[in-house]
Structure 1
């Protein structure tokens, strides 16, 4: 199976057994094989503002954890940018690797869930997050559509400080985060219903200035026009997962 993954504000950590992973220019090839059937690896996504292509080949095991925008940071010792500067990479943290080995030795789903929850609770950390939480909340407010400077002012920090904090916590700039967040809001508004709304209406509901601006921004994030996108993608998990099967 192959699919196209579109920009998201969330972070994914995937635990694999029995695969080799090859990374290209915005592409990920995950291949299972007899020669690696006992090997495990851990992959983490960073932020990306273009779609990337994922190809699954062969048989293997995978457990994916989808963290909300700030979530992954609470289970990692350092800033997220330390581990995920690119769209996808190996999570080079020894105790995550050791945990993955132990996890896949469990033979039942209930035992795996129990072990995973225990591991996450053991690694849960408190962090000084008030500034970035407030900034994320403001940037996700599509109705008010705050500028980056307005967000910085409301958080009582300089534009430069806000940029630095976002890079550390979310691996992207505030403006990139805002674009991705608005894109995801557009998808939730559209809903891929049988009675698809006019694209102009979707654009205005997500507070784009006009349809042409909406179309340009949409093409940057998906590589195709909104009309073509809504015809080709599928939604799963209560509209939280958006992808295009190839």
Structure 2
């Protein structure tokens, strides 16, 4: 199976058993490998502003954990940027590999959930992300559509300090975060209803400046225009997971 993963504000940590993982030019290939059938791999995504291609080959085990934008930082000792500067990379932390081994040894789903929850609670740390969280809420207020300068002023920060904090905890700039968040907002709000509204109306309700700006941004983030995008993508979990199967 292959699919296209579109830009998202969330972060994913995936646990695999018995695979070889290859990365190249926004392409992630995960294929079964009998020579390492009992070995585990742990992969973490960073922020990406272009779609990337995921290719699954063969049969293997995977457990994926999806974290909200700032959530993953609470389960890592250091800031996210230190672990996930690229669109996808191995997470070289021994305790994550240990829990992956435990989970794959356990066949009972309920017990797996208990093991994973216990692990996460054990590794839960306190992080001061108050300023970044406040900035995110302002950026995600698409009705007011604050500029980055206004967001920085509301948070009593300089633009440079705001950018530095976003890079640390979210691995992207505030402007990149806004583009991705606005793109996702347009999908959730109107984009994938049974009868798709006119592009102009979607653009207006998602607070894009005009239809041409909406189309231009969509092409940057998806590689195709909005009309083709809405026709080709699939949705799961009430539009919260958007992808294109190939």
| Short-chain TM bin | over 0.9
Q: CA 1:219 to 1:191, structure 2 compared with 1: closer, same or farther past 3 Å? A: closer
1:164 and 1:75, CA in 2 relative to 1: closer, same or farther beyond 3 A? same
User: What is the CA-CA distance between 1:106 and the residue it aligns to?
Assistant: 0.8
Instruction: Name 1:56's counterpart in structure 2.
Output: 56
> What residue in structure 1 maps to residue 195 of structure 2?
195
CA distance in 1, matches of 2:136, 2:97: 30
Other-structure match for 1:112? 112
In the alignment, what sits opposite 1:161? 161
Contact residue 22 and residue 29 of structure 1 kept, 8 A: yes
Show CA shifts across 1:162-192 (max 9, x none): 0000000000000000000000001012242
Where 2:56 maps in the other structure, the secondary structure is strand
Q: Partners of 1:169 and 1:127 in 2: how far apart?
A: 10
Match of 1:29 in 2: 29
TM-score (norm 1): 0.99
Aligned to 2:6: 6
> For the residues of structure 2 that align with 1:86 and 1:208, how far apart are their CA atoms?
28
In structure 1, distance between residues paired with 2:18 and 2:93: 19
Is residue 17–residue 60 contact of structure 1 (8 Å, CA) maintained in 2?
yes
- Aligned residue for 1:239? 239
In structure 2, the partner of 1:71 is 71
- Partners of 2:117 and 2:191 lie apart in 1 by 32
Judge conservation of contact 2:191–2:202 (CA < 8 Å) in 1: no
Q: Secondary structure, in 3 states, of the residue corresponding to 2:30?
A: strand
Q: Distance in 1 between matches of 2:161 and 2:192?
A: 39
Q: CA RMSD in A?
A: 0.7
1:94 matched residue in structure 2: 94
1:146 maps to 2:134 = no
Query: In the alignment, what sits opposite 2:204?
Result: 204
Given that 1:8 and 1:181 are in contact with CA atoms closer than 8 Å, whether structure 2 keeps it comes out as yes
* Inter-partner Cα distance in structure 2 for 1:4 and 1:207: 26
Q: Secondary structure at the match of 2:196?
A: coil
- Which range is displaced more, 117-126 or 101-110? 101-110
Distance in 2, Cα, partners of 1:93 & 1:10: 20
* Matches of 1:230 and 1:44, distance apart in 2: 28
Structure 2 unaligned regions, length at least 5: none
5+ residue gaps, structure 1:
none
Partner of 1:126: 126
Alignment TM-score, normalising by the size of structure 2? 0.99
Contact 2:233 2:244 in 1 (8 A): yes
Aligned match of 2:220: 220
